[in-house]
Amino acid sequence: MRSSHFNIIRDAAHQERDRHAASCAWLGALPSAVELVWLPRSLALEPQTLDAALPSLPRKLQAALRRSTPPHHHYLGDRVAEHMAVKVALGDDGEAYTLTHSPMGQPRLMRRPNVASHHGPICISFTHDADAHITALTRDPAVVGIGVDVVHLPRLSRGGHAGAHLMRFARRFMSDIEWAAFQPGAPTDDLALRRVVAARFSLMEAASKAIGTGLRLGMGFGRPASVLPQTINVMQIVPSVEYLLDGKAFERQKALRASRIEGFWAEDGEYLVSIALLYRGVARVI
């Protein structure tokens, strides 16, 4: 990637992260060092940046981009953004890794054989909504999985999500125990309710990415091996996040030999961003 063009991408990422600093306020409070790359989604398919990125993209993606005529489909833009973000986060060390996906769709950075690198295994996660494309990665060897999730808050206000509708939405994705923890203290003010429902939904998605399964939300969303939303409970969101994994989600945590999952979230009125970190160690049976 030509360095002048790469600098445009890196600068744009820094600017976006600064602009949305309130949504990533948790960055300084995490138990592990995490790099967060926030790209404007539209940047990936801008002719200047795309031209610059093209030679360093995987061959299949280059071919797909050449076949497709502008405006390119968003899907390809997100694939390009992923590679740009890895380059921003890892710099030249990015050449030592290939981006692949598990059969369930979890992104993985695999070390290329015979390429020297300063770092060992890296956990990575992606999320996108509206014009935000966010990547989180950590090199902490204690982390077995990472999940990041963004919600464009105005999306939850459209389509009649106010008040009673938000409560119905919450009831659908929460288990009985999460509902019992949430419903009695649920805010009556629409904006405050949107914030807490979005936080719980987003934290659930982030955890499903950290355990690598994703969610089965019905209507064709998710894979057969994805876990049901009701198996990832967010029992508390303030002053700190408390997860309670159940059923297949807990089975998955045990299979990964993970002892605990930690969650964080913040918002700036436009975007709400959450992150989940899954740590190595033997899980406690509750």
Ligand X SMILES: CC(C)(COP(=O)(O)OP(=O)(O)OC[C@H]1O[C@@H](n2cnc3c(N)ncnc32)[C@H](O)[C@@H]1OP(=O)(O)O)[C@@H](O)C(=O)NCCC(=O)NCCS
Residue 106, interface with ligand X (CB under 6 A)?
yes
Please state, in angstroms and as integers, the Cα–Cα distance from residue 241 to each residue in 134, 238, 265, 275, following that order: 21, 6, 8, 10
Near ligand X by CB under 6 A, which window of 11-19, 34-42, 212-220, 231-239?
Answer: 212-220
Is residue 168 close enough to count as binding ligand X by CB under 6 A? no
Site for ligand X (CB under 6 A): which residue of 35, 46, 78, 95? 78
Map residue 54 onto helix, strand or coil. helix
Would you count residue 40 as binding ligand X (CB under 6 A)? no
d(CA 28, CA 60): 37
Q: Would you say 219 or 282 has its CB closer to ligand X?
A: 219
Residue 209 is a binding residue for ligand X (CB under 6 A): yes
Angle between helices 59-67 and 74-90 (to 10 degrees): 140
For residues 28 and 121, give the distance between their C-alpha atoms in angstroms, rounded to a whole number. Answer: 22
Asked if residue 130 binds ligand X (CB under 6 A), the reply is: no
**8 A C-beta contact, residue 125 and residue 107:** yes
Interface with ligand X, residue 264, by CB under 6 A? no
Quick one: which of 40, 54, 105, 268 contacts ligand X (CB under 6 A)?
105
Rank residues 147 and 181 by Cβ distance to ligand X and give the closer one: 147
> Among 226, 233, 253, 274, which residue sits at the site for ligand X (rule: CB under 6 A)?
226
Say if CB 25 and CB 266 are below 8 A apart: yes
Residue 240 near residue 250, CB atoms below 8 Å = no
Applying CB under 6 A, which of residues 49, 135, 138, 213 lies at the interface with ligand X?
213
Residue linked to tokens 């994705």:
173
Beta bridge partners of 149: 274
Using CB under 6 A as the binding rule, whether residue 253 contacts ligand X is answered as no
Residue selected from 199, 215, 272, 277 as contacting ligand X according to rule CB under 6 A: 215
Q: With 0-12 CB in 10 A as exposed, 13-18 as middle and 19+ as buried, what is 267?
A: buried
- Which of the stretches 22-30, 100-108, 159-167, 238-246 binds ligand X when contact is defined by CB under 6 A? 100-108
| Number of residues binding to ligand X, judged by CB under 6 A | 21
Q: Which residues contact 55 (CB under 8 A, 6 or more apart)?
A: 1, 62
Report the residue from 77, 94, 214, 263 that binds ligand X according to the rule CB under 6 A.
214
Q: List residues near ligand X by CB under 6 A.
A: 78, 104-107, 125-128, 149, 205, 208-209, 212-215, 217, 221-222, 226
